[in-house]
Amino acid sequence: MRCLVTGGAGFLGSHLCERLLNDGHEVLCLDNYFTGRLQNIAHLRDNRNFELIRHDVTEPILLEVDRIFNLACPASPVHYQFNPVKTIKTSVMGAINMLGLAKRVHARILQASTSEVYGDPAVHPQKEDYWGNVNPIGIRSCYDEGKRVAETLFMDYHRQNKVDIRIVRIFNTYGPRMLMNDGRVVSNFIVQALKGEDLTIYGDGSQTRSFCYVDDMVEAFVRMMDQDEIIGPVNVGNPGEFTMLELAHAVLDQTGSKSKIVYQPLPGDDPKMRRPDISLAKKALGWEPKVNLFDGLQKTIEYFKTIV
Ligand code: NAD
Ligand code: UDP
């Protein structure tokens, strides 16, 4: 099949492009390089089934494809808050343009949605039928609400135009090829530990997240697209739940770093806890994560050692 991956030069997108090529597909990698990099896909460029397109998803594009994986959107709070108006345009106009394309060529299309649709959740762990607790006017809203509107657009194109959609709600995912200055917690702590700098915990470090290794996430994307039973939304993530203080200590232990932990102010609207209920993914996709936090951190630390 010919697969379009928007945001294909980013962290998750580059791993997905690689997997799809390995599975024998043609891959069109579309990116505007806001947070993506050519280095992430440099090793794929000699593959005759791989094609690069510099394009912004907020603009329409005409392509002939069988499948679309819509990943284009900065994912780190630091980057999505840099130009919030652009972030919401990317989610909303990007969804409209990609759904229009899917409708025209009858392609199956997957939306990379997010656990952020649950906001600062009042229900724990989060199940797909929870509608969330999202501030519509805060500093995270450009991302959270943009992704919520994108889900609405996907459902409406499905109901109104019979577009063949899939929606996955991705919980915090980490691994090699995250940017050194990505700003998300796993890469921040690892880079700080390897450089001997202080590890910056925002708030008191009691807030929790559930961290999924990238290979497990890519497997979930592929399974979601390869089945005909459900359109989603489906939670995909690792249900192991850790406080940021626990994560900081794990990174210090595994790097052997002598860095200290320092505390900085908690950014606005930072969710206090997050853990996916993945019963639906287990049942419908036969999927659950295989890589635990220790092993995933080890692989990620090895990667950052080569570039720090
Ligand atoms: P990333 O920032 O590494 O990748 C995003 C990619 O999209 C980058 O290559 C960037 O250049 C590209 N992009 C941004 N705006 C664009 C635009 N207007 N037009 C074309 N390309 C554009 O982030 P990631 O972690 O790889 O996330 C990929 C997708 O998964 C995003 O949609 C994100 O919201 C979603 N997601 C990721 C996580 C996670 O923990 N990694 C969690 C939830 C959801
Ligand atoms: N965080 C932190 N130190 C950092 C970066 C992030 O303590 O250097 C915290 C952040 O406040 C949040 C958690 O780690 O509570 C996860 O942050 P991240 O930006 O990785 O993802 P998100 O908040 O979108 O889940």
pLDDT value of residue 299: 98
Q: Of 209, 214, 221, 206, give the one whose Cα is nearest residue 185.
A: 209
Residue 33 CB less than 6 A away from ligand 1: yes
Measured by CA distance, the residue closest to atom 25 of ligand 2 is 172
Domain ranges of the chain: 2-175+212-238+274-290
pLDDT in tens, the chain (308 residues): 999 999 999 999 999 999 999 999 999 999 999 999 999 999 999 999 999 999 999 999 999 999 999 999 999 999 999 999 999 999 999 999 999 999 999 999 999 999 999 999 999 999 999 999 999 999 999 999 999 999 999 999 999 999 999 999 999 999 999 999 999 999 999 999 999 999 999 999 999 999 999 999 999 999 999 999 999 999 999 999 999 999 999 999 999 999 999 999 999 999 999 999 999 999 999 999 999 999 999 999 999 999 99
Question: Is 143 among the residues known to form the active site?
Answer: yes
Report which bound ligand comes closest to the CA of 77.
2
pLDDT value of residue 172: 98
pLDDT value of residue 102: 98
pLDDT value of residue 157: 98
> The domain 2-175+212-238+274-290: what is its CATH number?
3.40.50.720
Dig out the tokens for 296 from the structure: 């995933």
Measured by CA distance, the residue closest to atom 13 of ligand 2 is 185
Question: Rounded to whole angstroms, how far apart are CA atoms 114 and 209?
Answer: 13
Ligand 2 atom with the smallest distance to the CA of 188 is: 8
Ligand 1 atom with the smallest distance to the CA of 170 is: 43
> According to the 3-state scheme, what is the secondary structure of 15-81?
HHHHHHHHCCCEEEEEECCCCCCHHHHHHHCCCCCEEEEECCCCCCCCCCCCEEEECCCCCCHHHHC
- The catalytic position among 80, 118, 143, 213 is 143
Ligand 1 atom with the smallest distance to the CA of 184 is: 40
Spell out where 144-289 has E strands.
Answer: 165-170, 173-174, 199-202, 208-210, 212-213, 234-236, 241-243, 261-264
Residue 201 CB less than 6 A away from ligand 2: yes
Report which bound ligand comes closest to the CA of 171.
1
> Which among 4, 19, 35 is the best mutation to test ligand 1's pocket, defined by most ligand atoms within 8 Å of the CB?
35
Name the burial class of residue 86, with classes exposed (0-12), middle (13-18) and buried (19+) by CB atoms within 10 angstroms of its CB: middle
